[in-house]
Amino acid sequence: MNSTAVTIIILIAFIAIFVVISLRARQHNASTIDDYVVGGRSMNTALLLMSMGATYFSTWTLLGSFGVYYREGIWFAGFTTWAIIQGSVFIWLFGTRIWYIGKRFNFITPGQMVEHYYSSPTLRLLFSIVGIIALVPVMLIQVTGSARALESLTGGAIPYAVGVIVTSVVVGFIVLWAGFRGTAWADAFMGTFFATVLVFTAVFIIGKAGGWSFLQNVAEVEPQLLTNKGNPVAMLELWVGLSFGAWALPHMWQKFYSAHSAKVLGKVAMFTPFWNSWMMACIPLVIGLSANIPGLVPGAADNSDAILPLIFAEYAPILGSFVVAGILAAAISTINSQLLSSASLVAEDVWRRFFDKEMSEKRLRLVNKVVIGLITSIVLVLALSPSGAGYLVPVASLGFSLGLQLVPTALGMLYFRWITPAGALTGMVAGVITLFVSAATDFTLFFGPGISAIIVNALLVAVVSRFTQAAPVNGDNDYHALFAQLYGKQPTQKVTAHAIN
């Protein structure tokens, strides 16, 4: 039996396991939209930790990040630091507040919170649309990345188009059937699987690269990679885009909603650095740098985004099947949350809110499922188009840059009472326009498109908020009074809770 046949058999087995896990998790679902979209707000520490980790770290971790370390050296080590802050401090600063408001008012989408606080349906609609558009490129890189890896490892026996179709169909099917709980369990399984692949590969490649002296061996051929080349602005852009953009993206927002308690979020924050940084960010550093040693990873110079598949193609073609499965796992575990989230935004924030307010829960679930099918089809078509298969990082950064444009509006609800509905709306519109114009024309000022856009966004929020009316407070939506009490800055007062649709 040749290695391609083995790869296909392993992939089929892997997908079968994945489907069984998802569908078993589905058996515990209650037939409510709350359960379908945010897991009934019952996620425990282990499940949420794995699910958030698997969602953060994706095809890009198994492909793009190796390539960046290979090309840029330890300049990219700032990413390991980002991974700690993003996974811990930001959960405290933003996650707990989002979780509490979501729980108190039974929100399942970020848009519901936006309308409730700002009393602005327009802002809710815009927030949701920007969120959906932001997720599309991030979903796209998962699909294109896994398809490229499949093609690369099998020497073209599994063509790119087949890889795209397999990934999209599997994700669409699982999300459709299993909802949030199923995707969370699938994330946990896949996270464990691709973490095992990473650890195994790191130990193997360090051994091949000279053991403890592997970095000194790298320095003999590419000494500049072992020092930092500077360019702090580029790293700052990455930090700002990924850090702020990531937590404001709808699928992460809904993960906060899904936590069972503040203590669960706290434990996730405590353990996340070990997963996000020490595992998922440091291992690519080790392997990506080692690949510079001549002869260690043949072909790395021509295709640095495929270092991991190339390692296995060279040393263990049979085991390489597991790498492909790991890459597929990484893709699916990221895209499933994003797909479910996008669909819930369309169904709840657009369809139900603006076209059918009296929609039953059963019908809402049906609309969710139809939208999941539609978005899967869109991603499939984009991934098959020539422009969908470019370098991974720039595409993903557009998604995070769009997510960044949501941040001032979100901060108005969570921290800054002075941000008005008109200010938030104007800033977000201007930020998105700036981002697209900047990306389309390659015109930037000192910073890249994402940072330039958020600067315009923030400035307009500040100026317009100065001259417009604050969000109407009726006691029910005064989040700041609520936070002041919960965070120990005011004596307890009564704040009533009423859910909205």
Sites of contact with other proteins (CB under 8 A): 74-75, 77-78, 80-81, 84-85, 87-89, 92, 96, 100, 212-216, 219, 223, 226-228, 230-232, 235, 261-263, 265-267, 269-270, 272-274, 277-278, 282, 485-488, 492, 494-495
Question: CA-to-CA distance for 43 and 51, rounded, in angstroms?
Answer: 10
Can you read off the two tokens belonging to residue 145? 């990345």
Determine the 3-state secondary structure of 259 from DSSP.
strand
Instruction: Please say which residue, 230 or 386, places its beta carbon nearer to other proteins.
Output: 230
Question: CA-to-CA distance for 165 and 384, rounded, in angstroms?
Answer: 9
Instruction: Please say which residue, 219 or 316, places its beta carbon nearer to other proteins.
Output: 219
CA distances from 116 to 177, 321, 471, 499, 500 (A): 30, 49, 10, 9, 7
| Helices and strands, counts by H and E, the chain | 25, 0
Which residues on neighbouring strands pair with residue 259, listed in sequence order? 43
Which residues on neighbouring strands pair with residue 43, listed in sequence order? 259
237: amino acid identity, one letter: E
CA distances from 39 to 31, 113, 186, 256 (A): 11, 18, 13, 11
**Closest approach of other proteins to the CB of residue 357, in Å:** 28
DSSP 360: -
Identify which of 354, 423, 403 has the alpha carbon closest to the alpha carbon of residue 118.
423
Q: Cα angle vertex 232, ends 227, 237, to 5°?
A: 130
Instruction: Please say which residue, 214 or 247, places its beta carbon nearer to other proteins.
Output: 214
**Closest approach of other proteins to the CB of residue 231, in Å:** 7
**Closest approach of other proteins to the CB of residue 395, in Å:** 25
Residues 405, 428 contacting (CB under 8 angstroms): yes
Instruction: Please say which residue, 121 or 266, places its beta carbon nearer to other proteins.
Output: 266
Question: CA-to-CA distance for 218 and 273, rounded, in angstroms?
Answer: 27
**Closest approach of other proteins to the CB of residue 81, in Å:** 4
**Closest approach of other proteins to the CB of residue 397, in Å:** 19
Sequential DSSP letters for 429-467: HHHHHHHHHHHHHT--SSS-HHHHHHHHHHHHHHHHHHH
Question: CA-to-CA distance for 394 and 449, rounded, in angstroms?
Answer: 11
Number of residues in the chain? 501
**Closest approach of other proteins to the CB of residue 483, in Å:** 10
Instruction: Please say which residue, 218 or 471, places its beta carbon nearer to other proteins.
Output: 218
Instruction: Please say which residue, 207 or 232, places its beta carbon nearer to other proteins.
Output: 232
Residues 320, 309 contacting (CB under 8 angstroms): yes
**Closest approach of other proteins to the CB of residue 106, in Å:** 15
Instruction: Please say which residue, 266 or 317, places its beta carbon nearer to other proteins.
Output: 266
Residues 22, 178 contacting (CB under 8 angstroms): yes
Identify which of 318, 340, 275 has the alpha carbon closest to the alpha carbon of residue 139.
340
**Closest approach of other proteins to the CB of residue 289, in Å:** 9
Q: CA 263, 265, 266, 269: dihedral to nearest 10 degrees?
A: 160
**Closest approach of other proteins to the CB of residue 258, in Å:** 17
Instruction: Please say which residue, 77 or 378, places its beta carbon nearer to other proteins.
Output: 77
Instruction: Please say which residue, 104 or 363, places its beta carbon nearer to other proteins.
Output: 104
Instruction: Please say which residue, 199 or 318, places its beta carbon nearer to other proteins.
Output: 199
Question: CA-to-CA distance for 415 and 249, rounded, in angstroms?
Answer: 18
Instruction: Please say which residue, 281 or 424, places its beta carbon nearer to other proteins.
Output: 281
- Tracing tokens 């797909």 back to the chain, one arrives at 339
**Closest approach of other proteins to the CB of residue 488, in Å:** 6
**Closest approach of other proteins to the CB of residue 184, in Å:** 21
